[in-house]
Structure 1
Amino acid sequence: MPIKIPNNLPAVNILEKENIFTMDETRAYSQDIRPLRIVLLNLMPTKIVTETQLLRLLGNSPLQVEVDFMYTATYEPKNTPHEHLVKFYETFSEVKNRKYDGMIITGAPVEQLPFEEVEYWPELCEIMDWSRRNVYSTLHICWGAQAALYYYYGIPKYNLPAKMFGVFPHKVNMKDKMLFRGFDDIFYVPHSRHTEVRRKDIEKASRLSILSESEEAGIYAVVDKKYRHLFITGHSEYDPLTLKAEYDRDVALGLPINIPANYYPGDNPQQMPVVRWRSAANLLFSNWLNYYVYQGTPFDLDKLNDLDDLSGLCGEGI
């Protein structure tokens, strides 16, 4: 089934060349079914790149998905044309009266700042609190996962001695959970971050389960006991050349950066990277959409109830 996206979104041409089934708004209106409604809170600076990566994965599913794009009103992105934001994105004030089957909160290049010092932190707290009553299942990615674990459970992040950078092998801890149905015993995920969350802190939260981790990269996937909040610390959505672009950028700027692990043949940046994570990424998003969104969300979204009884650090406390 197709993914429904706005007419003339730049990602359309890229996705169609990759045989990703898309459907514009005009055609979708003629279909007599209810698509899954997903809102994407895009916190990444290069929003067009990120939205394309995520739409590629959301579109590789038998379910019809309708996506709204949201960005923070309290921070004006500097790397995305204003015209693109005006045409395709909305702020929280414009979507807060809607209800959604699912939500994705992306990572952001602010991980080395304390959460409270992030310019849009109060707005993000308000959005996460709103999602408890208006979204059935939320997928948090990288810094978005760290932010949500801190907001809901007070779980801190820790600075790493060196950037976690590369493509790392992971294992599934709980093979009976639907999120990793069909996964190999070992699968690969890209990581690109300066901070981490730790097992000892997560284990103190009785409502959380660690579904997957890596000996090198640490915690990868965490879920709450109601299966409505998923926290993913890696970047399964990354394109083949995303890590290369980050590496080349940092080298050009003279920043300390290691060659991304398990990425270039022979660790030679002159070689083309080897893609090891694409099949696992597609399966991850397909499983989320099917088992954690479609199979549980009410047909009538007005019947959504609170996802849990947490208030979050920006609300009444936990």
Structure 2
Amino acid sequence: MDSINALTREAFNLFFKNQQYDVAWKLNNQALLLAEKEQHSHPEKVIEILEQQAHFHEKLQQFYQEKTTLLRLIDIEEKTPELAARYLGKTLYLLANSYVAQNDYKSAEATLLRAISILEPSSDTNAEILTKNYLQLSDVYLAQQRLEIAEVPLQQALKLIEEKNQIDLYWQQLTFRKLEKIYRNSKREDLANKMAMRFVNIKPGLTAVPDAKPKGTFKGAVIKPGNCQQPEYPREALIKELQGATQLRFLVNENGHIIAKYISKSSGWKILDDAVFEKLSTCKFEPASVNDNPVTSWFGYQYTWKLE
């Protein structure tokens, strides 16, 4: 397992940090060959490596290859109920995203509805991925100009957020923003204002972190040099000359790991917020400390998108 993990980590770094795509693919395929030899005892490793392949294809906009890889994943997961329960909803979500990228909204809708039907009975353990499927389904309906039903999956996502306590703040904020937009477009200003207030007032649900700095000599968390992927300017944003500043908040534990994150202030453009949120969520940190003892603490960061 250590060899497989080392190969996939190296492949990831070569692909995303160094853009050495050919070498990254070779290492990924090496890892896959090793994992397939142990597939009966560790099938999850094959799934993880194929997920990495699908991610590589997505970034290179190789949509046919991405779809082929995801369909292979689905075939593996469907054969084992335990794997299906853990992975199938996520894989179907990724497949739907691939269909959306190709403007195949009919296939995306069918895939998302299937994912939702699988995830809903186990919403206690799959709340976040279920929320993502609801949000994507709403986007598919909007892309098809089916405005009368685009609100329905958003209401389902909202209900899930209110019932569960494990959904990332980012997805909560996104749900409120999408509902606000639909309400404003349909002239339901009271509901729109309610969603806007919920977006502004959303707070982290972790009560273990004190509001005030603890007593003693406090040093805040800092990003480790060379351990943070800088976001690329999204092509669509460049074309439209979009600019702005996105403010983020990360909860960093005593080991330097991000355990919660959310957008504290939007740039005004979802495409810019999503790009910086995805990249900076991979940052590595030196944890905050009190009297040189590591502690959990919030870390604030502002990323400014500015055209030269």
Range into which the TM-score falls when normalised by the shorter chain? 0.3 to 0.5
Larger Rg computed on CA atoms: 2
- Specify which structure has the higher proportion of strand: 1
